[in-house]
Each structure stands twice: as structure tokens, then as C-alpha cells.
Amino acid sequence: MLEIKAVDEVDAGKIDAFIMNDITNGEFINTRKYLSYHKGRFLEDSIVALDKESQSVCGVMMASVGTDRHTIISHAGTTFAGPVISEKTSIKSAEEILDKMLSYYEQKYQKIELKTAPCCYTLSPNQRIDYFLLKRGYSFGMTALANVISISTVRTAEDALALCYSKRRSQIRKALREDLFQMKEKEPDKAVWACMNQNLERKYQAHSTHTFDEINGLAEKFPNQIRAFYMETREGEYGAFALVYCFKHVFHTQYLDLNYRFSQQTPNLLLILELILKARELGYSYFSFGASTENPGAVLNYDLYRYKAEYGGGSVLLPLYIKDMAGDAG
């Protein structure tokens, strides 16, 4: 027998251990430890499915209430957030757990939006949750398109360069010959973060999702998952920057920036090459640049997509499943 409880009624460590032990769609960004930085920003309605007798965790749905108060989203504060059900659960039990969690939300809200993990984020193909959602009447919504490179065959810099378009390959080779920069891993830097936001504002009229204090605090909580890399001159001057989220199976660039004083020397291109090699060193098979879409997926930034695609690879959807109970009733 299953029962549903609010996450606040269950030990946070127990929930987070369940999420981090799941190899399919449980990631550190879904944990209570990570989402706590959002405290007060969203109205939470996250739930846990428990075995009634043993009180063991069977499923987790981290979710927040939409601004209209009639929509539940899994979770507005993350790229994707489940539902998380252990891959070790039998397919019949997995469907029962999912049904229990969805029934809770379907009785309470008019609309449900679920952001499940992209296919490349799983160790092996496993889209049973996607299947159950479609079976239950959920539809595929407008979603983001992300650039991802398969790097499983990369062993050397030449292997990584072979993936690139010829123009990008030539640009990187030129930067390698000039030999002006070297990659270093350090803590997040407040001055670099400010520079990045200035560039975002100037180029896109945007700013980073996280403040410096937020990202610095998260990096302290997750030193193995949130890592900052810099291309620097031998004098220590900053040329390019990347903040990386090290997911279980995907090496993901959450933020990228270039010091435009060095735009002709292209340290940003060198940084991507070095990061691909770093990802392979750490055992990753996929390198992600993140989404190239906006609003939330209705607009494709063609220039941004092309820039990322020139390193090789392809694209994946960030799935969004929607059920509108009010619409269904009509």
C-alpha cells in the first residue's frame, strides 16, 4: 500500500538519498538540498510516495505552484524535476507509484506541467515514465531544444577537433598555436560573475538565473557537481569562463562567458575543447551546452544554436508533458 506525504513530513536526507541513488532521472538539482536556495521564491507542493508499512521512499515529485495558483509544475526552479521513481522498481509498481502521485495533483489543480529528464541523462534508455504519461492522457507541450555532443569516442584533442565543423576546427587550431591561455579550475569569482552579467545585459538584455551569492552557496554545497573553469593568460588575466553542472551522465555548461578584450584570441573556443577533454577524463559520454530556445521553447535562437552545433553533435528535447483538467472537462 502506498501513501502520499508532503516532503516536509519526511526526512530530507532520506528523500535526497533516494533521488541521488536513482540512475534514471534523479539528479542533484532535484534534491531538497539544492532546491532550498529557492526558499520563499516559489509556493511548494512537493510530495513523496511512501510504502505505508515500511515507510520507505518509492517516488518523489518536486513541484511548485504556478502564479495562477491553478497549475502545478515539476519544478519551476529547475530545468527538469521528475517524477523520480527508482529504475529498480518493476514496471507495474512504477505505474502504480506514478498514478498515486499524479492523482494527488489531478484532484487538486486544474493543470499539470511535468518536465522529465532528457533521454541522454539516463545511463540506459528508459522512457517508461514518458509512456505512462501519454497513456494517462498527457500531451507533449512546447519544449526547449538543447545542444548535446556525444563524446564517447573522444580520447585526444584531435578526436574532439574531428567532431567540429571545419571553420570551428581552424579557429581552435589557431588559438592552440598561439598558446596564450591555460585552463584552471577555481571557485566562482564575483568579479567574473559581474562581468558575465554585464555581457548578458549588453547582448541579450538578460541576466543570470542565479545571483553570485546563490551560485557560490550552491557550489559550496555541491563541490563535486558544480564546478567553475577559467581560461587565463599566464599573467592570470581572465579570458573565458564556464560554470559546469556535473550530472550523473552529462557534463553540462550551465553558464559560459568571454572576456571581450580577448575576443580575437578566442579563449572561449579553447575552453570548450578543454572542457570536452575534462568531461572524458571524468568518464562522461555526453557534453551539453543547454537550450538554444526562448519563451520557453517557442523561439529558436538560430545564431546560438549554430554556434553550439559547430562543435559537433546534435540536439535533444527537454520534454514537457501537460494535462489540462479544465480543458479535458470542456
Which of 29-33, 109-113, 117-121, 264-268 has the lowest average pLDDT?
Answer: 117-121
Query: Do 136 and 6 share a domain, yes or no?
Result: yes
Residues 309, 311, 313: CA angle, nearest 5 degrees: 60
Comparing C-alpha atoms, which of 48, 31, 62, 134 is closest to residue 97? 48
Neighbours of 168 (CB within 10 A): 20
Same domain, 131 and 158: no
Per the CB < 8 A criterion, the answer to whether 239 and 232 are in contact is yes
Whole-number pLDDT of residue 327? 67
Query: Hey, is 131 helix, strand or coil?
Result: helix
CATH number of the structural domain spanning residue 107:
3.40.630.30
The three three-digit cell numbers of residue 317, written as one number: 528535447
pLDDT band at 111 (very low <50, low <70, confident <90, very high): very high
* All three cell numbers of 303: 545564431
89 and 214 housed in the same domain: no
On whether residue 137 sits in a domain, the answer given is yes
Percentage of residues in the chain having pLDDT higher than 90:
80
* pLDDT over 60 (residue 228): yes
Query: Own/partner pairs for 133-141, CB < 8 Å, 24+ apart?
Result: 133/98, 133/321, 134/321, 136/99, 136/102, 136/323, 137/323, 137/328, 138/112, 138/114, 138/321, 138/322, 138/323, 139/321, 139/322, 139/323, 140/319, 140/320, 140/321, 140/322, 141/113, 141/320, 141/321, 141/322
What is the β-pairing status of strands 43-44 and 57-61?
unpaired
- Looking at 44-53, 121-130, 273-282, which range is the least confident one? 121-130
Residue 201 lies in a domain: yes
β-sheet with 226-233: strand ranges across: 181-186, 226-233, 238-246, 250-258, 286-291, 144-150, 314-318
Q: What local confidence, expressed as pLDDT, does residue 57 receive?
A: 95
SS3 content of the chain, % helix, strand, coil (to 5): 40, 30, 35
User: Per residue in 132-163, pLDDT tens?
Assistant: 999 999 999 988 999 999 999 999 999 999 99
In a domain, 29, yes or no: yes
Residue 51 and residue 88 share a domain: yes
pLDDT the model gives residue 241: 97
More confident residue, 327 or 104: 104
Instruction: Tell whether 258 is covered by a domain.
Output: yes
Same domain, 89 and 120: yes
Give the DSSP letter string of 16-45.
HHHHHH-SSS--GGGSHHHHGGGTTTSEE-
Pair 226, 159 in one domain: yes
- Kindly state whether residues 21 and 86 are assigned to the same domain: yes
Residue 25 has pLDDT above 80, yes or no: no
- Identify the burial level of 141 via C-beta atoms within 10 angstroms of its C-beta, where 0-12 means exposed, 13-18 middle and 19 or more buried: middle
The domain containing residue 122 runs over which residues? 2-142+318-329
Q: Does residue 115 form part of some domain?
A: yes
Are residue 62 and residue 183 in the same domain, yes or no?
A: no
Is the pLDDT confidence value at 56 over 80? yes
- Rounded to the nearest integer, the mean pLDDT of the chain is 93
DSSP state of 120: G
CA neighbours closer than 13 Å in the CB half-sphere of residue 82: 35
**Chain segment 183-223, per-residue pLDDT in tens:** 999 999 999 999 999 999 998 888 998 999 999 999 999 99
Q: What is the pLDDT of residues 86-109, one digit of tens each?
A: 888 999 999 999 999 999 999 999
Domains: count for the chain: 2
313 lies in some domain: no
256 closest CA partner among 248, 265, 247, 269 = 269
Q: Domain check: are 127 and 156 in the same one?
A: no
Residues 137 and 162 in one domain: no
Q: What is the C-alpha R_g of the chain?
A: 21
Distances (CA, A) of 178 to 238, 264, 277: 16, 11, 19
Question: What local confidence, expressed as pLDDT, does residue 329 receive?
Answer: 54
Is the CB of residue 310 less than 8 Å from the CB of residue 193?
no
The pLDDT of residue 206 is 85
Q: Whole-prediction pTM value?
A: 0.93
Residue 294 placed within a domain: no
Band (65; pLDDT cuts 50, 70, 90): very high
Domain-located, residue 236: yes
Co-location of 120 and 176 in the same domain: no
Separation CA 234–CA 92 (nearest Å): 59
| % of the chain surpassing 70 pLDDT | 98
Summarize pLDDT for 291-319 with one digit per residue, the tens: 999 887 889 999 999 999 999 988 999 99
Confidence band, pLDDT 50/70/90 cuts, at residue 23: low
Mean pLDDT of 246-261: 95
Q: For 245-260, what is the mean pLDDT? A: 95
On whether both 76 and 98 belong to a single domain, the answer is yes
**Which residue has cell 502520499?**
4
Higher pLDDT, 328 or 133: 133
